Amino acid sequence: MSEKMIELAGMQPGFLGVETAREEVGITVSYWTDLESIRNWKQNVDHREAQRLGREKWYSSYKLRIAKVERDYAFEY
């Protein structure tokens, strides 16, 4: 389902990208151009169904955080 949601998000206006890690704790961070794009993604029918299944089948809890990225940089060899 995660892969399907990432693919679907990629087709939504305002989508910028995604980062995910699945080790001890599963985390997915999606990036959007603005709050309107985030609201539209939240209302997407397929995304809402995935959220419902997540609450019923896969997760005992989860956290959602909406934050503005002011700066992003990296160092790589």
Return the pLDDT at 25. 73
Q: Is residue 76 part of a domain?
A: no
| DSSP 8-state secondary structure symbol assigned to residue 14 | T
Give average pLDDT by consecutive 10-residue segment, the chain, 77 residues: 91 95 83 96 94 90 89 92
Which candidate, 40, 60, 46, 42, places its Cα nearest to that of 2? 46
Return the pLDDT at 15. 96
Return the pLDDT at 33. 96
Which candidate, 17, 20, 31, 36, places its Cα nearest to that of 65? 31
Tally of structural domains, the chain: 1
Q: What is the pTM of this model?
A: 0.81
For residue 59, the Cα-to-chain-centroid distance in whole angstroms is 15
Q: Is residue 64 part of a domain?
A: no
Return the pLDDT at 34. 95
Q: Is residue 68 part of a domain?
A: no
Task: Tell me which residue range forms the domain holding 13.
Answer: 2-58
Return the pLDDT at 61. 85
